[in-house]
Structure formats: C-alpha cells, structure tokens
A and B are shown apart, each in its own frame.
Chain A
Amino acid sequence: MMKRTIHWLILLGVAAALMPTGDAAALERCLICHQKHDLFKTEETGRKISLYVDKQQLENSVHAERICTDCHIDIVAIPHQKEVNAVNCKRCHYSGNPVGAPEGELYDQYEHSVHGLAVAAGNPTAPVCQDCHGDHDIMLHDSTESKMYRANIPRTCGRCHIDIYSHYRESVHGVESEKGNVDVPVCSSCHGEHNIARHEDPRSRVYVTNVTHTCADCHGPKGVASKYGIKSNRTETFEESFHGVAQQMGNKLVANCASCHGVHDIRSEDDPKSSVYIDNIPKTCGKPECHPEATVRFASGQIHIDPKSKESGIIYYISHFFLILTISTLAGLFIFIIMDLFRRAKSNRAKK
C-alpha cells in the first residue's frame, strides 16, 4: 500500500511538471489520476468509493464547460492536502446566481422536502442532489440517458427505495414505463420532485385528501387514461360516492383511490393479482379497518357508478325517474301557486 502511494506521488510530480495550462488543461491535469479505473478511496465506514472520472461522460453532461475545481472548490493542491468534501450544488444553483446556473423555486423546495429535512437532521443516507441527478453524468431530463428522464426515474428512485421499486415494476404503471411509455406515471408524477413530502404530510401530493386530485391528473375528465380505454370519470364518480362525499367533508378514514386500488402495486382489474380483480373485491372491502363485516354479497355490484350513464343500469333509471318526478312535481306545484296568487290578486281587486 505504502509503496503504491509513493509510486503515485512520483507520477504526480512528473505530471505536475508537464501540466498544460487553461481550462482544458485543468481537466487533463485531474484526469492524469482520475482516468484510472482502479482509483478508490476508502471511507471510515469501510465503503470503497471509485474515484474514476469518465472524460467522455463529463463532456456529454450539462457541465461540460465547467472545470473540476468549479465544483470541487476545496481542492487547491495536488496531491490533495486533506479529505475532499462532497460537492455543494447550491454554490451555483441559487436564485440570482451570476454564472447562469438554472435555479428557481423548485430548487428551494428541496430543503423542505422529506429528503432535505432528513439531510438537515443529519441522516447520512438521505439523498442530496447528486444521489438523484448523478455527478459527472448530469444531463437534461429530456435526454434518454439522464437519470431524470421519465422512464429512468423509477430506477433512480429505486436505488434507495428497492422494495417499492420492485412493487412498482410489476404494477400496470411500471410495466408500461419499462416499455418506454411516457404517459404512465413514474414516481415523481404522484410524489412530486423537489417537494416530495411524507405521505402523512398534508402538503404531500399523496396525502389522504390529496390523492384523488393527484390520480385525477390522468384519470380525471381531461386525463390521458382515456387513451387506454379507461373511463375518464373515475374521480368524478368517486367524488359522488359516499366515500368521496365523506372525504370532501374532511373525513380522513374513508377510502380513497389507493385504499382499493393499491399504491405502488396498482394493477389492471383484469389481473388476478389486482386488489380490484372481481374475486378479490370482497377481501379489499373487508379490510379490518374498513368493512370487516363485508361479505361476498356486500361487494357485488358496480363500484364507480355514474347515474348519468346508461351503463349503470337500474341506477340510471331510478335517477331519471326521480329527476322527472321532481321536475314535474315542482313545476306543477309552482304553477299552482302562481295561479292561486293571481286569482287572489284578481278577487282582491274585484272586491275594491
């Protein structure tokens, strides 16, 4: 080990002497060491971290114009005098920065997100920018190789949230996402990006009373789900159901989309593993916290009922029967009242 380090120091000394000058030169100078695949540092915890830098990757990234010390500001000498700290992206990416680094509200939201708060609380495993966006390979999110590319997001998040990723990958959304379908939701579609919050947090897009609106982005009247033969009135019919009404009245115990359809493991109703597969519905309704008394009979019938649609069968006819009954009765009574008042007015005039 010692011998090897000495070798390196000699090499560095030679390299430093031959050092080209300028920005490109600075990169070359760092790469003398960092182009080696077997360059590692060992953390106190025993974890080995590769110090290899892929020049090609760096040149393809959004930071191609930057030199190493733009980000690694604590490196002032070769060999490095002390432990090199992690890069702080906020050095450039803050509101009103002079170098033109993209910034904005989104970037500031991170501090209040579940990840930002965890980092602030000193959790060493909580993700900072680099954990999601990458380091030397940061690319714009519309590039298919970007970690932030829509179809790559589940894998990016899944690096830490492995369990959830494994559920998601088998869900109806995950399967399509793997195929490269950009209509299906990935993690950030439901959870948000820099503003990700715990699901118990009322600010979260997946908080119990917000989840309906989040699903409605795709499954509502203007949603993309109708493209795949899924009815676009799912959230409307939910809001008309007792569950929906109760939720609008502030009840948080009542079922929302996820209570029945699942969360990361949402599957098509035709999938026998789905919680809303016809044979599984009694079990889904009969969850101990919902309707433990539920029987197979209790769960028999349509769920998302739209009284305005003929497909709802008898409900459609009952709702129309009452509509006609109400309108005709009230119109009749109203006309009767008006006629009565006119007649009274007339007789009063006649008396005078």
Chain B
Amino acid sequence: MNDKIRDKAQQRQSLINDLTENIIDTTATLIDKGCDQELRDKMAAEISERINFEVNVTLNEMVTKYCPQKIREQVTEAEERRFLRFGVNFRIQHVLMFISVIVLIITGIPLKFPEFAISKFIIIDIFGGLDNSSLIHRIGAVGLIIVGLWHVFYSALSKMGRKDFWLMIPRPRDILDFFHTILYFIGRRGSGPKQGRFSFIEKFDYWAVYWGMVIMIGSGIILWYKEYFPKYIYDIAREAHSDEGLLATLAIVIWHFYNVHFNPEVFPGSTVWLHGQLTESEMKHHHPLEYAEIVEAESNEIQAERQTTDPSEENVK
C-alpha cells in the first residue's frame, strides 16, 4: 500500500519536473539573456516546488471539502508519521481490564436491581443461577485484581510506566485547562487549551478508575471473606460495592463510551487501544505540547549529532 503511494508520488514529481521544463522552455526567450545554467536550475527548482505545494494544498482542500471523513483520513494518514501512545504492555493491561470489567458488570449489576425481569433473565436464564454468576463474578474479580497489581508494578518498575505516572499527577494547570475548556465551549475562547501527553480529561478518567479500583477491590475482598469481618464492616463494604459499582458502570457507559465510541470524531470507535498509535495530525491536534516536546527533543538530538560530527568535518576541510 505504502509502496504504491510512494510510486504515485514519484510519478507525480516527475510529471511536475516535466511541466517545469516545459514552462522554462516556452519562456526561454525571456530567461536566456544574462542567465546562466545555475540560475536557471534554481528557478526550475523553485517553480516545481511551488507547483507541488499548490497541488498538495489544493488536493487537501478538495478532499476535505468533497470527500467523507474516512477518505480524508486515509489520504492524510497514509503518508503521516505515527507516534506510539500506548505500549504493548499497557494495551494488554487495558484489554484484560475491560474483559474483567464487562464480566463484573454483567454479573454484578443485576444484583443491584433484582426486581427487574431482565436481571432475573441474566442471572437465572443466562448464567443458570446465582451460584454460577457468583463464580464468574469472582473470576472477573481475580482478573481485575491482577490488572490492578500489574499496573502498580508497571507504574513503579517500567520506564514508560514511571514516566506516564509522573505525567498523570494532577497539576494546577489542569484546573486552568478545565476552565479554559468551559470558556471555549461557551464561545468565549477561540480554541480549547493546548494539551500535553495527558489532558485534564484523561487525568480525570485515570484517577476515577484508580478510585474505583480501590473501592471495588477493597470492598469486594471484604464481601468475599465476609466471615472474617464484623457485620457492620460487611454492611459498609456491601453498600460501597453496590453504589460504586453502579457509578463506575454509568461512568463507563456514558463518559468513556462517549469519548472513545460515540464522539463524532471517532465514531464508531477509536482503534488506538489496538495499535496504540496516533498520527501526526492527531498528535498536533490533541497533544500539541507533547508533540512540540518530541519535535524539540529530536531537533536537539540532531543538533547534538551534528556538533559531534562537525569537528571531524572541519578537520577534513
């Protein structure tokens, strides 16, 4: 696919070169006087560059104007650079987490609303009774506990995990960003706040899950081993487990599904959780500060490389 596109681009380049030659040839009478070959080449290069630029800009504009979103993405993304946002380790954590959570929700929420026919249908008819659904709930719980511990160790031990955890810590800037976003929503600002690697929304999501994990796993373990606790501790755990379970479910269904499924920008669903990558334009749009950092770091690197290679070049001269 990429090779094809590259071939097409080369073809276009050679066509543009031919066109440039043609233009220069047809105007040879104007240029020839007092114009050496070097200048002539420079002119040709500039003309071809401008044609190329205009063609690209016009193409972009037309595609944006007439083609549906999907085609636009394909056209622009195909040639774009990609940035790794979530590593393999992190993506496996996410998959294990959502499998566990879906299992836990399906076997858990019906018990919050036992009087509903749908709840009875799920527990009695689908799972074949409370004994089975409880067992499956506990299997889901083990999955969630594993992913929780895994994430703690990942955040502490892996390089990317440590870096991300550090960036996840809320800062005063996030509060300003929040108000900035509200002002943008009500039309008082022309654009939203520029975000780094993690926006305040993503930080909220992350810490909401953190809170939920602590509450659900903590209270769940008490419910699991209720015989070792006084009844009032069990009662507190049960109330918290039931209420936080509903809150988490609603938050996932409303908020997380909006952000990653129903939001017009990503509908019917973002695929970042699968490949973990963002395109350059997505980076520029959603994480401009992080993008700037990366680009700056890269240019510093290149400069540093040049500085180390420069002296040798000088020596050669």
Contact = CB atoms under 8 A, between A and B. Distances in A.
Interface in A294-326: 294-295, 297-303, 305, 307, 314-315, 318-319, 322-323, 325-326
Interface residues on A, range: 35 or more
Interface stretch (A55-63, A78-86, A135-143, A246-254): A246-254
B258 interface: yes
Contacts of A337: 254-255, 258
Contact of A318 (B110, B115, B227, B236): B236
Contacts of A159: none
B120 A248 contact: yes
B124 to A, nearest CB: 5
Contacts of A249: 110-111, 114, 119-120, 123-124, 129-130, 133
Interface majority SS on B: helix, strand, loop or mixed?
helix
Interface string B107-138: 00011001100011001100001110100000
A71 B213 CA distance: 77
Contacts of B236: 314-315, 318
A52 interface: no
A322 B258 contact: no
Nearest to A285: B231
Contacts of A305: 235
B232 A333 contact: no
A251 B246 contact: no
Contacts of B207: none
Contacts of A323: 243
B240 A333 contact: no
Nearest to B124: A250
A348 to B, nearest CB: 9
A295 B247 CA distance: 33
B229 A245 contact: no
Contacts of A319: 239, 243
A325 B247 contact: yes
A301 B232 contact: yes
B185 A330 contact: no
Interface string A326-344: 1001100110010111111
Interface residues on B, range: 35 or more
B311 interface: no
Contacts of A340: 185, 263
Interface in B192-229: 226-229
Interface in A3-26: none
B255 A333 contact: yes
A322 B247 contact: yes
Given A326-B243, A337-B254, A299 B231 contact: yes
A242 interface: yes
A293 interface: yes
B183 to A, nearest CB: 11
Contacts of B185: 339-340, 342-343
Contacts of B235: 301-302, 305, 315
A300 B120 contact: no
B234 to A, nearest CB: 7
B227 to A, nearest CB: 4
Contacts of A341: 264
B238 interface: yes
A41 interface: no
B153 interface: no
Nearest to B120: A249
Nearest to B133: A249
Given A250-B129, A333-B255, A337-B255, A326 B226 contact: no
A239 interface: yes
B247 A251 contact: no
B189 to A, nearest CB: 10
A302 B232 contact: yes
A294 B227 contact: yes
A333 B252 CA distance: 11
A273 interface: no
7 contacts: A239-B115, A248-B120, A301-B235, A302-B232, A315-B239, A326-B246, A330-B247
Q: Which 4 A-B pairs have the closest CB atoms?
A: A301-B231, A322-B243, A301-B232, A339-B185
Given A249-B120, A300-B231, A333-B251, 11 more contacts: A248-B114, A249-B124, A293-B227, A297-B229, A298-B231, A299-B231, A326-B243, A329-B247, A337-B254, A337-B255, A343-B187
Interface of B: 110-111, 114-115, 119-120, 123-124, 129-131, 133, 182, 184-187, 226-236, 238-240, 243-244, 246-247, 250-251, 254-255, 258, 263-265
